Structure 1
Amino acid sequence: MRLNRLLQLAAVTVLATVVGACEPPIHIILASSDERLPSPEFVISEPSQPVEEPRYGYVSVRDLDGTRMWELRKLPPNFEVSPARLSYGVLPEGFEELESPQPLVPGRTYSIGVSGEGRGGFHFHVSHDGTLREAK
């Protein structure tokens, strides 16, 4: 009886690992090397989809200390095609804000994450002159 229970638990663990590993990645990058405050633009892509058709329904921008800077979701919640370009603080059509955009502060590092059919994230640093660069 106990062996049967352990085998069931192992099977569930393997299945969860395989299903989780099949989740397609979503990539996020800065739209250009000249992005700057107040509304930097990001390009969101999903390699398994055509170039302009990423599937996501939730976006969150956070300070690395965990403070929510901007949060939005698609209405109604779904993972159909969403915009491939996203400007900070500019609400895309068909989305609602869960957290209004807060000003990004020079000298701080932030993360932007999206989720839907897949998920992805990107860390960026705001320089003292207001320009953005990828944070490593």
Structure 2
Amino acid sequence: MQRVETIADIDNVRLTRFERAGSRPVSRTCQSPPPADKALQRAHGRLRQAAYRCSLDRKAAPESGTVGMSLLTAAVKLTKAEIDAGSIRIIDMAFDDLISRGYSRREVEAVFRRIKRRLAASPAHSG
């Protein structure tokens, strides 16, 4: 065999000299499953999500978004006199996390202000 210099030459030799026989025996030990129907996969996903949410309801367990909103609500309800180092640290960590994920600090602050205004306008607000 001659000396092969480039990747293209190697691939050319491989394709021209080492072609597999089309009539060779099947090497699979088991049949591959048929390709899944995308619509069926999505329907199964919706079913799993509904079952998960139903189990949360039965256990009276909140979703993570509910916990997040509760923490945000608690943070914006704090008065200046109630804010301590721990509260500031938690809020700073939340800001840092959101900013590190690509959110604008100005927009995050706008969300805090919007929630604070909504709570202040709410008749159930006791603060």
Q: Note whether the superposition's TM-score is higher than 0.5.
A: no
What interval of TM-score do these two structures reach, taking the shorter chain for normalisation? under 0.3
Q: Which has the larger radius of gyration?
A: 2
With a CA cutoff of 8 Å and minimum separation of 6, indicate the structure with the bigger relative contact order: 1
Q: Compute the TM-score of the two structures, normalised by the length of structure 2.
A: 0.27
Q: Compute the TM-score of the two structures, normalised by the length of structure 1.
A: 0.26
User: Relative to total residues, which structure has the larger strand share, 1 or 2?
Assistant: 1
User: Relative to total residues, which structure has the larger helix share, 1 or 2?
Assistant: 2
